[in-house]
Chains A and B, each alone.
Chain A
Amino acid sequence: MLELIFAVLLIAAFATLFIKSGRIAAIISLIASAMPLIAVMDWANDFGIKAFSFGVENSMDFSIAGITMHLSITSFAWFFAVMVFSLLPPIFLFSYSFFEKNNGFFPFMLFLITAVFGILLASDFLTLFFFWELMAASSFILVYISRDKKAIMSYLAFSVLSAVLILVGIALLYSQSGTLIFSDIVLNADKVTVSAIILMVAGFAVKSALMPLHAWAPFVYSKADEPFVAFLSGGLSKVGYYGMFFMLFALPGAKILHQYFNSGVATYLLAVIGAISAFIGTLLAFMEDDLRKLLAYSSIAQLGYIAVGFGIGSSLAMAGALFQAFNHAFFKSVLFLAAGAVAYRTGKWKISELGGVGYKMPFTFMAALFAIFALAAIPITSGFAAKWLLYEAAVSNKYIFITPIMLIAGVGAFLYSFRILYGVFLGENRHDDIKEAPLPMIAGMFLLVLPLIIFLIFPGYMLDMMHSALVDAGIGTISHTNYVIRTGTASYNTLAVVIGMMVVMIPAFLIYVLRKQKKVDFKDNFLAGEPYEFYGYISMHAANNFYKPIEDVIMPYLRKGAISFYTALYNAMGRVSDASRKIYTGLSQDYTIYIIIFFFIIVGWLIW
């Protein structure tokens, strides 16, 4: 079964390499990407009762150049697979009309999918690392298509950093536990030292853009093609969290960390990093003018929430984190696709230049509106249930530093969500000539919005999906029915909220129906009596420098942000390499002296 999927994916990838027209390539990749989704779906019934074991029957071993790779599905890998692979068909449907010419997006996207499929199925570290490298390579080429020097360099540097961290981690693990197979390592987990876990977690954290390691995200998200960025921020960052989930919970890394520091300080630190990245991500997000950079920082902020859930580690927090990961995958890809659709029609990225696009592109606007409601965690969308679980976990564990920062980051999400809605879609109608996005694009976006609606009323289904994942990873689950989530401190009944809203909507609807109303164009606006056309053109779009007052208050503190740290690092490395260049003087005598010095160092080290 797995061989068939891998074969289909690779054949499709090589086929689309040589196809010029974007349309055919899109159709092929759409069919190919549906294959893993179907496979994942029919594994769903296996995990109702299956205990956590690596040797589930549909595993596959293949060997390349004498090294045998073991692939088999596990319950938490299945949950992440459902999340990541249900993004792909809508994205390819979207890119059917987004790319006229096949500029290499489809083949490398398919390589990327095979790599992700491989990572999620890997049952030993060698396969994991092999597919991790394949993923890094194919996503690097997809970033390379954007031809932006800064994005390429930063993405290259950080994927190399993450690969090195993971490789050293694997080497340490191999040296301590003698084997690379996951199930064997889990058996003798006590011999695993802390440094291996920290390195691996840091390596995975790079891919999911946690605060100190996030510098690549704003550049890459704002320069690469929209469909790829939608998958990158929606799907690939979740693969990073899959790695962290495996290291901290499946292989009980968290317990080892606790025993080593005999207190929860290490995982608490991860939660603090998550909270800070959520807070600073939101602050940076609502001051951005470029729409995609704004979405990039908001992505960092939302991913910070998941890190907080991983840090706290209780069953409540983990359920919240996985739910948030699921929501984030969907509403972030819808937002990036909406940005792509707007750019496809208007060709502009800056919020201050866009304006009133929603009047002409109502369906894109509706999809973006619902995604933003999910992002801002408004109770009528499934976004709230996830964040509610995280807040409950943080309060019941009495974390007094993280909870206020998380809540403020949640409220801060309203600021940049209004910025997107007003700056791009509403306000003055400056784009009268554009048409609605083509049908495949809208279909793709609405397909992605669908799960947010399903899990709005019935979060219970989502918790059932996670049930086997959480139990297998030894985290225990929380009591819930289809629409009520009960925790130690309180309960949240989504049906009550939805029915309450319907009932309460009646008086409001009555007032709306009370009188007929006249549609008025935005030109007939109150400008203190001034007619709109009188001075030729009065710009009524107040979206430029929108949050200037707070910017002046906050910016001084954020001046020395992470990115300036990396630029300083970059310059420092430049100077060091420049100094070291002086060693190769080309004189043979210097080389002999170097060899002698080196020889003495070795001898000294041996004797000492």
Chain B
Amino acid sequence: MVVEKIAVIALYTTIAMFVGILFMGVGRKIVARVHNRVGPPVYQGFIDIAKLLTKKTNISHGWIYDLALLFSMTGIMLTILFLPIGGVKLLSMEGDAFLVLYLLAIPALGFALGAGASGNPNAAIGVMRALVMMLSYELPFVITLIALMIYYDTSSIAQIVEMQHAKWAIMIPPFVLAAAVADMALQGMLMEAPFDIPTAPHEIASGPMAEFGGKHLGALMIYKAGTIVAYTTLFVDLFLGGGVVMHDGSVLAYLANFAVWFILIFLVFTLSLLINTSFPRFRIEQAFKFYWKYEALLAFISLIWVYLMVIS
């Protein structure tokens, strides 16, 4: 039984990473189509990563710089382990939403350490912006998370997914507002256009990644692909019922749930890309004020609304 469980977990994690890399190519295709361009082939993500990993010479700024490579990939795959994907509870019975929130911080901090060790001033400014972005979008996201926890009276994502079988969370009135706020926070997490402040190529030479090349950049591309899957799956699990359509344990149910999950995260990713193509880049203070003033206010309203619903 345990071996079968490990096999399922390994299968789903690798599938999730491949879906992530596929989405990078698809993302660039969608953005190109919006620009009325042909755009790269859909499998461009795989080629980029293959090219980076087969670079002949690689530079390193010391053992902490290599730590970034290990930390970022390990952290994001560990997060995917703890997220229910397509209704399949990988390890998410063992941990809960707070654990996932802090697991998402491991790659960010490891990445920041690597950038810091590279000694490039652009990298440090990029990391400063990334951490400030994290602080700013974390407030509204956390408030919506607590609203969900109070409503479903549990803090484990797997149970939240189970309780949404009958009705998706987004159908409950206060959670429509909460989903909108969480989607804008998702825009910040995926670092899409209005909030791609940390890795701004024009201002700070692509921020923290200024000194990353070759296999280090390849690992970071895999990390970026992982974040696309991890954040969108988190959003889908919390608000759109985790893509669970059929509940009996048959293979058909696995496939159906997986297909629905795939479609849902594709829609969420496309929505964030469309916002990406239509917005210039904010300054870091504007993003901070946007999240802490307007988003936090909306989130707090939905939190109080849920609180009143729960008490009555």
Taking beta carbons and an 8 Å cutoff, which residues of A are in contact with B? Answer: 356, 358-359, 369, 373, 376-380, 384, 387-388, 391-392, 395, 398, 400, 403-404, 407-408, 410-412, 414-415, 417-418, 421-422, 426-429, 484, 489-493, 496-497, 500-501, 504-505, 507-509, 511-512, 514-520, 522, 524-526, 528, 540-543, 546-547, 549-550, 552-553
Do A518 and B59 have beta carbons less than 8 Å apart? Answer: yes
- Picked from B95, B122, B288, the residue with its CB within 8 Å of the CB of A492 is B95
Most chain A CB inside 10 Å of its own CB: which residue of B119, B205, B310? B119
Which residue of chain B is the closest to A495 with respect to CB atoms?
B94
How many Å from the CB of B247 to the closest CB on chain A? 22
Task: Select the stretch in B141-149, B237-245, B249-257, B268-276 that faces chain A.
Answer: B141-149
Do A398 and B94 have beta carbons less than 8 Å apart? Answer: no
Do B69 and A404 have beta carbons less than 8 Å apart? Answer: no
Do B58 and A492 have beta carbons less than 8 Å apart? Answer: no
Known: A404-B146, A522-B61, A525-B118. 8 other contacts (CB 8 A): A392-B155, A411-B134, A418-B112, A418-B131, A492-B94, A517-B58, A541-B124, A549-B284
Which residue of chain B is the closest to A507 with respect to CB atoms?
B73
Do A400 and B303 have beta carbons less than 8 Å apart? Answer: yes
Do B98 and A504 have beta carbons less than 8 Å apart? Answer: no
Do A358 and B64 have beta carbons less than 8 Å apart? Answer: yes
How many Å from the CB of B303 to the closest CB on chain A? 6
Do A508 and B73 have beta carbons less than 8 Å apart? Answer: yes
Do A408 and B154 have beta carbons less than 8 Å apart? Answer: no
Chain B residues with CB below 8 A from A377, complex form: 102
Do B102 and A418 have beta carbons less than 8 Å apart? Answer: no
Do A490 and B159 have beta carbons less than 8 Å apart? Answer: yes
Do A489 and B153 have beta carbons less than 8 Å apart? Answer: yes
Which residue of chain A is the closest to B284 with respect to CB atoms?
A549
Chain B residues with CB below 8 A from A497, complex form: 78, 94-95, 99, 103
Interface residues of B in 211-264 (CB under 8 A from A): 211, 214-215, 218-219, 222
How many Å from the CB of B55 to the closest CB on chain A? 7
Give me 10 A-to-B residue pairs in the complex whose CB atoms sit less than 8 angstroms apart, sorted by A's number. A378-B109, A392-B98, A410-B102, A411-B135, A418-B127, A422-B112, A426-B117, A508-B69, A511-B219, A518-B57
Q: How far is the CA of A512 from the CA of B101 in the complex (A)?
A: 26
Do B105 and A508 have beta carbons less than 8 Å apart? Answer: no
Q: What's the tally of chain B residues with a CB closer than 8 Å to chain A? A: 80
Q: How many A-B residue pairs have CB under 8 A?
A: 231
Known: A496-B95, A541-B121. A400 touches B285 (CB 8 A): no
Do A426 and B142 have beta carbons less than 8 Å apart? Answer: no
Do B93 and A491 have beta carbons less than 8 Å apart? Answer: yes
Chain A residues with CB below 8 A from B303, complex form: 400, 404
Which residue of chain A is the closest to B121 with respect to CB atoms?
A542
Do A395 and B70 have beta carbons less than 8 Å apart? Answer: no
- Picked from B69, B155, B210, the residue with its CB within 8 Å of the CB of A512 is B69
Do A518 and B219 have beta carbons less than 8 Å apart? Answer: no
Which 7 pairs between the two chains have the least Cβ-Cβ distance?
A522-B119, A490-B96, A493-B94, A490-B156, A508-B73, A426-B116, A422-B116
Interface string of B75-109 (1 = CB under 8 A from A): 00110011000000001011110110111011011
Do B58 and A518 have beta carbons less than 8 Å apart? Answer: yes
How many Å from the CB of B176 to the closest CB on chain A? 19
How many Å from the CB of B308 to the closest CB on chain A? 10
- Picked from A356, A542, A547, the residue with its CB within 8 Å of the CB of B132 is A547
Which residue of chain A is the closest to B109 with respect to CB atoms?
A414
Do B94 and A414 have beta carbons less than 8 Å apart? Answer: no
Chain A residues with CB below 8 A from B101, complex form: 407
Interface string of B142-169 (1 = CB under 8 A from A): 1100100110011110010000000000
Q: How far is the CA of A384 from the CA of B96 in the complex (A)?
A: 12
Q: How far is the CA of A517 from the CA of B65 in the complex (A)?
A: 12
- Picked from B116, B118, B128, B146, the residue with its CB within 8 Å of the CB of A403 is B146
Do B146 and A395 have beta carbons less than 8 Å apart? Answer: yes
Q: How far is the CA of A526 from the CA of B211 in the complex (A)?
A: 7
Known: A414-B109, A489-B156, A516-B58. A546 touches B128 (CB 8 A): yes
How many Å from the CB of A328 to the closest CB on chain B? 17
- Picked from A373, A376, A388, A508, the residue with its CB within 8 Å of the CB of B98 is A388
